[in-house]
Amino acid sequence: MSQLLDGRDLLPEDAEGAMEEIISGRASDSRIAAFLTALRMKGETVNEIAAFARVMGRFSVRVSPGAEGGLVDTCGTGGDSIKTANISTAAMFVAAGAGVKIAKHGNRAVTGRVGSADILEALGARIDLPREEVERCIRETGVGFMFAPRFHPAMRNVAAVRRELGFRTVFNILGPLTNPAGVDAQLLGVCSAELTEKMALVLRELGRKRAMVVFGLEGVDEISVCGETLVAELGGGVISSYTIRPEDFGIQRASKEDLLCEDLGANVRGFLGSLSGEPGPITDMVILNAGAAIFLGERAGDMREGVELARESVKSGRAYGKLVDFVRATGGDVKKLTEAGEEFGFS
């Protein structure tokens, strides 16, 4: 604690020791609050974040599906400034329709948005499957969802403190870094430009083979159709930073207002509309992010090819088919999904 108060960075072993005290429940709430506050004031380093993530991984319920081919996660840290449609969750089914194996790690809503768990549940899926069932879903359908509270039970030891503090802490960025399936590649959206390269460095430290860390400059934690997106790409152990625009992929630029989805119902409509290929900015944004996931899953040589494969996944119906397969594999309510999908021409 004294190191943080003096503004000094923690050594990896000290960071791991501190996180073990917190996650194991040995630290008091007052000490946890003081630690998180001091860390926030100092600013987290790459080595500290990676050390914290390794400890969280050791305390998690691990998933080993044994599926052929590498696994990809699509997620964001949350905390962006816009209540946009849930893009990353729709994108995972589009990518799966192109042959990418997806192991998504998610939770309910953050900062008033609709979380991946919320929307999957609304579409009829069971979201709280145990490890063995998630592994089976990945093997059978190429898609699995790990509900964070079930796979990170030790996080209950910090839940009350996080609520009391009322500001974002390092735990807000640790969630997306601690996928229980140990994915090979990751599309990670972040809530600030400063985090793109930092999080790419953390992902490299944690052993990811490929990654794209993205931030839409108008305040979106995904690849954006509204303007430029900063990208820090990890590949072959090398990180390269660059900017992409929707026009680079033949997509028309849109306004932030076109992406707004204020409630769960609007998110469900946007989600199913994108899988049906309904023209518009939400579908375009899903296609962009799915294209990146397809590239990271090594089904495409570059993101442009990935975007074309994403379009084909939607047009062919394979993306929606993956959603149906997933809901059925979870033991969920396929009738609920079918009824929701009828509005968009699905049967």
- Whether 154 is covered by a domain: the verdict is no
Element (H, E) at 74: strand 71-76
Instruction: Annotate 224-241 with b (16+ C-beta within 10 A) or e (fewer).
Output: bbbbbbbbbbbbeeebee
Nearest by Cα to 285 from 317, 242, 254 = 254
User: With helix as H, strand as E and coil as C, how does 142-166 read?
Assistant: CEEEEEHHHHCHHHHHHHHHHHHHC
What CATH number is associated with residue 95? Answer: 3.40.1030.10
Nearest by Cα to 81 from 112, 53, 115 = 112
Query: End-to-end alpha-carbon separation of the chain, Å?
Result: 58
Tokens of 270: 């946007």
- Whether 222 is covered by a domain: the verdict is yes
Looking at residue 79, its pLDDT comes to 66
| Amino acid, single-letter form, for residue 288 | L
CA distances for 94 relative to 78, 89, 156, angstroms: 21, 9, 33
Entry pTM: 0.95
Q: How many domains does the chain have?
A: 1
Which range of residues forms the domain containing residue 86? Answer: 71-147+176-336
- Whether 273 is covered by a domain: the verdict is yes
- Whether 93 is covered by a domain: the verdict is yes
**Per residue of the chain (347 residues), what is the pLDDT tens digit?**
789 888 899 999 999 999 999 999 999 999 999 999 999 999 999 999 999 999 999 999 999 998 777 999 999 887 665 677 889 999 999 999 999 999 999 998 755 478 899 999 999 999 999 999 999 999 999 999 999 999 999 999 999 999 999 888 999 999 999 999 999 999 999 999 999 999 999 999 999 999 999 999 999 999 999 999 999 999 999 999 999 999 999 999 999 899 998 889 999 999 999 999 999 999 999 999 999 999 999 999 999 999 999 999 999 999 999 999 999 999 999 999 998 888 887 76
- Whether 8 is covered by a domain: the verdict is no
Looking at residue 2, its pLDDT comes to 83
Element (H, E) at 103: strand 101-106
- Whether 231 is covered by a domain: the verdict is yes
- Whether 17 is covered by a domain: the verdict is no
Q: What are phi and psi of 253, to 5 degrees?
A: -70, 140
- Whether 258 is covered by a domain: the verdict is yes
